[in-house]
Amino acid sequence: MSFDYNEHQHIRFNPLKDEWVLVSPHRMKRPWAGQIEKPEEKKVPEYDPSNPLCPGNKRSSGAVNPKYTGTFVFDNDFPALQTGSPDVPGDQHPLFQSQVARGECKVMCFHPKSNLTLPLMEKGEIVTVIEKWIEVYNELRQKHRWVQIFENKGAMMGCSNPHPHCQVWASSFLPNEPAAADRNQRKYLETHGKNMLVEYAEMEARSGQRTVVENQHWIAVVPYWATWPYQILLLPKRHVLRLPDLSDEEKASLAEAMKSLLTKYDNLFETSFPYSMGWHGAPTGSGDLDCDHWQLHAHYYPPLLRSSTVRKFMVGYEMLAQPQRDLTAEQAADNLRNLPDIHYKLKSKQTVPFS
């Protein structure tokens, strides 16, 4: 009897995190009495005089934003990391250890208009965002071991401001997630003689089962080991260590891939799809010279499961045992892949030619 991964529970291994994920696709068939209808979307104005991220407005720190017309980067008014943190005592009990954490935190606005998200921006505007990411990254990599670019989109992911923006935190230390990725990518190269994610991208491109978006330079897949329902791993097709290593052609191709992926996200439940995303590339410390085991990649972690209001909660078994998902990566990829590349908000604006 053949084993149908879309019908039976099984566990899958995540080589980046060195952990197992329980897949239980039959859970999607259980009765659901919760809300599934699409709520009325809030109208976000193009400009809000009370929004501290809009051009020309005053922020809580008292600083006034310039009347920017493209991207805009500023130091976070409430940074989680600062450069002047004092050293911690050296003699510590093994159960009560701490180390100094130094760094910088910045906020980056993608666009002057509050009612535009990345999938609704023009390709050239997304390229501008990518180039600004690289500019900020190059500035911070000179002083810090890790530069984390991340975006929290939507109130469901804790974002209280609808203006299109992301954050960049640079730290003197390697955080837990990239530390695990560093360790496991190095181990894979030493054991198998191949770069883990370069080989993975090649195998996913040949398979196509979990591919959502693919072009000449990039591939976006629901990873085999995905935890979140519609999680995405975005990968370059050639070996690339960090964002600044991308060619102009690869940056333009990345903008196309991002616009297509995020449009499909929004089209899935016809809502501005919430997610947390972030870039992982090779560390930038003085001791991180041997980084051939690394491959640049971006993670997208969206919480929605059944509708624009029904999310996946990481509770119970997930918190106390291991991650668990309710549909297979192949099912999720198929759901996303078959969605149109035209944003649902723009469909009504298309003209129908006369016959």
Report DSSP letters for 222-235, one per residue: --TT--STT-EEEE
Looking at the DSSP bridge assignments, the partners of residue 21 are: 12
pLDDT tens, 21-72? 999 876 655 544 455 556 667 789 999 999 999 999 999 999 999 999 999 9
Give the pLDDT of residue 353: 44
pLDDT exceeds 90 at position 214: yes
> Kind of pairing, strands 211-214 and 232-236?
unpaired
Give the pLDDT of residue 31: 47
Ranking 157-161, 212-216, 246-250 by mean pLDDT, the lowest is 157-161
Between residues 117 and 314, the one the model is more confident about: 117
Domain map of the chain by residue range?
A: 46-84+98-346
Token digits for 268?
């899935």
Whether residue 163 lies in the annotated active site: no
CB contact at 8 A, 267 and 203? no
pLDDT exceeds 90 at position 119: yes
How many other CB atoms are there within 10 angstroms of residue 46's CB atom?
Answer: 10
Share of the chain above pLDDT 90, in %: 78
Give the pLDDT of residue 26: 61
Of 270, 281, 51, nearest in space to 164 by CA: 51
Give how far Cα 127 sits from Cα of 242, 247, 262, 319, Å: 16, 12, 15, 38
pLDDT exceeds 70 at position 223: yes
Average pLDDT of every residue of the chain: 91
pLDDT exceeds 70 at position 1: no
CATH superfamily to which 46-84+98-346 belongs = HIT-like (3.30.428.10)
Ranking 102-111, 216-225, 258-267, 309-318 by mean pLDDT, the lowest is 309-318
pLDDT exceeds 60 at position 352: no
Of 102, 25, 38, nearest in space to 307 by CA: 38
pLDDT tens, 270-323? 999 999 999 999 999 888 889 999 999 999 999 999 889 888 888 998 999 999
Token digits for 346?
């723009």
HSE (side-chain half, CA atoms, 13 Å) at 314 = 13
CB contact at 8 A, 159 and 152? yes
Mean pLDDT of 344-353: 68
Q: What is the pTM of this model?
A: 0.93
- What is the per-residue DSSP string for 113-153? -TT--GGGS-HHHHHHHHHHHHHHHHHHHTT-SEEEEEEEE
Catalytic residue among 111, 163, 165, 280: 165
> Kind of pairing, strands 19-23 and 324-325?
parallel
CB contact at 8 A, 308 and 38? yes
